[in-house]
Amino acid sequence: MTTIKPTPVSSATHDKATRAPLAQGAVRLSQPLLETIEEEIVTRQLAPGARLDETELAQRFAVSRTPIREALIQLASAGLVELRPRRGAIVAQVSPQQLMEMFDVMAELEAHCGRLAARRSTAEEQRELLAAHEACTESSNGLDPDRYFYLNERFHQILYRLSHNAFLEEQVRHLQRRLRPYRRLQLRVRQRVGHSFEEHRAIVDAIMAGNEVLAAEHLRTHIQIQGERFSDLMASL
């Protein structure tokens, strides 16, 4: 009851002169915002603890606060920003402890991807994985860690797909994204790129051999090492 009247009056109750023209085109304004902000958090352009002022972001992206808020809420759901009631949003601060925990879960999920991939992947899919692995070759000498990082990420994403479990793939990709800045950092550790490449080789072999146990074990170790290396890195600072 007491229906809120939308007042569909067609007569001019507003002066259109002051109305800014809506920039239509994209279905959703908050989508590109979300991606841009996420990218900046992930690449550390926005450092952990940095305040995310809604008005400021709105001006920067030339939109109103509404889509900004929606993007921030989504980022908070993803764990990338922390929303403090009435006190604004900040880039989430992840403690080393939390990070270790996340790598631990990641190791389990990737191991399971490997197990399923060994069980279910087709010959063609395996060739795809092998190709992704071989694409890493030229950048595995440690001269171009950024390029290796990118190719490495692709390799893992293909692996996820080979699990033939879309939900698992989604979850693990999400976590991969959240851990991205730390993984990237960790790749700069001496010799890590070379070892990583070798580990991939063993993983591919196990999957192509259909050896579930070995595939899972190699992957678990592969990810756990990243967590450990990262913690070494932290300790050395």
Which stretches of the chain bind its own copies, using CB under 8 A?
3-4, 27-28, 55, 59, 69-70, 73-74, 77-78, 85-86, 98, 101-102, 104-105, 108-109, 112, 165-168, 171
* Cβ proximity to DNA, 25 vs 167, nearer residue: 25
Judged by CB, which is closer to its own copies: 102, or 185? 102
Separation of first and last alpha carbons in the chain: 63
Q: Give the bridge partners for 82, in sequence order.
A: 90
Q: Whose Cβ is closer to DNA: residue 33's or residue 219's? A: 33
Closest approach of DNA to the CB of residue 38, in Å: 16
Give the C-alpha distances (Å, rounded to integers) separating 49 from 41, 57, 153, 210: 10, 16, 26, 45
Q: How distant, in Å, are the alpha carbons of 179, 201, 203, 210, 220 from that of 107?
A: 12, 17, 13, 20, 5
Q: Does residue 68 sit in helix, strand or coil?
A: helix
Q: Alpha helix (H) ranges present in the chain? A: 30-42, 54-61, 65-77, 96-120, 123-135, 145-162, 166-186, 192-208, 212-235
CB of 28 to DNA, least distance (A): 5
CB 115 within 8 A of CB 220: no
Min separation Cβ 91 and DNA, Å: 13
The partner in contact with residue 108, picked from DNA, its own copies, none with C-beta cut-offs of 5 to 8 angstroms by kind, is its own copies
Instruction: Compare residues 11 and 97 and give the one whose CB is closer to DNA.
Output: 11
Neighbours of 204 (CB within 10 A): 21
Q: Which does 215 bind (CB under 5 to 8 A by kind): DNA, its own copies, none?
A: none
User: Least Å distance between CB 32 and DNA?
Assistant: 9
Binding site for DNA (CB under 7 A): 4, 6-8, 13-14, 16, 19-24, 26-30, 51-55, 63-67, 69-70, 83, 85-89
59 binds, among DNA, its own copies, none (CB under 5 to 8 A by kind): its own copies
Phi, then psi, of 7 in degrees rounded to 5: 50, 75
| Residue 166 contact, options DNA, its own copies, none, Cβ 5-8 Å cut-off depending on partner type | its own copies
Residues in the chain: 237
SS3 81: strand
Question: Residue 137 touches which of its own copies, DNA, none (CB < 5 to 8 A by kind)?
Answer: none
24 binds, among DNA, its own copies, none (CB under 5 to 8 A by kind): DNA
Smallest gap from Cβ 63 to DNA, in A, equals 4
Residue with tokens 């730390």: 182
